[in-house]
Amino acid sequence: VEQVRFLGVFLDSRMKGTLHFKYLVQKGRAIIKIISSLTAVWWGSRQQCLLSIYRTVFRGSTEYACSIFAWKRNSGIFLQLERLQYKAIRASLLYRQYTAAQYSFLYPPTLFKPWYFKLSLSRSEIVLVNRLRSNHYNLNYSLHRKNMVDSPSCVCGDTRQDANYVIFHCPLTRDKSGPLIGFLRSTFPFNPLDIFPILNQPSRKLCRLLLSFFKAIKISI
């Protein structure tokens, strides 16, 4: 017998573990598709629910019985699994990579007057929101796309420094984001941790809080 499945683990005749890791890679890709299907711009599961799916289904499978196989023999597949785990975590945390089509959906050019026409805003507030809406701002993830910086990573160590990460997740800005996050959670209780859909029709208070937040963390968007 070349292979057998015992207690959920695929064993090959040489006990290399390659067969089991290939199974985990396929399972991980399927789970990422499930998590991605549960997220959307205007609706979707909550972050804690998605993280629970990742922990129980994906992480539980990868940690189960993996210690019996050698790293040297399967370093390439281990790397695939590691990248899949990062991808699943990012999907569970609702980190999105917007495309031009998605931005056209979020901010359709159907109005004859600008979004700030009826709002009494300062020039700094208008510029800030426009840069966020256009996905062109002074954070590493945006600058890296234009080859202006070497890495899209945040200074805290995360692999992606974009507006959502800086506002909702970065440990270096957490002490400054309280008023902004509190307002977002009270005003948009069912919205995922994503600032971009909210900027479709931002209120005056939201614009003011955004500007105050970025001034507090000393980042000129």
Candidate from 74-78, 82-86, 124-128 with smallest mean pLDDT:
74-78
Residue 113 lies in a domain: no
Of residues 125 and 97, which shows the higher confidence score?
Answer: 125
Domain boundary among 106, 139, 162: 106
Its domain, for residue 160, covers 123-217
Instruction: Report whether pLDDT(100) > 60.
Output: no
Residue 115 lies in a domain: no
What pLDDT does residue 57 have? 81
- Can you spell out the DSSP letters for 89-117? HHHHTT-----HHHHHHHS-S--SS-TTT
Whether residues 102 and 137 fall in one domain: no
Residue 112 lies in a domain: no
134, HSE (Cβ side, Cα atoms, 13 Å): 10
Which pLDDT tens digit goes with each residue over 108-131?
A: 666 677 888 888 999 999 999 999
Residue 129 lies in a domain: yes
Which pLDDT tens digit goes with each residue over 141-197?
A: 889 888 888 888 888 888 888 898 899 888 899 899 999 999 998 888 777 678 888
Residue 111 lies in a domain: no
Whether residues 127 and 155 fall in one domain: yes
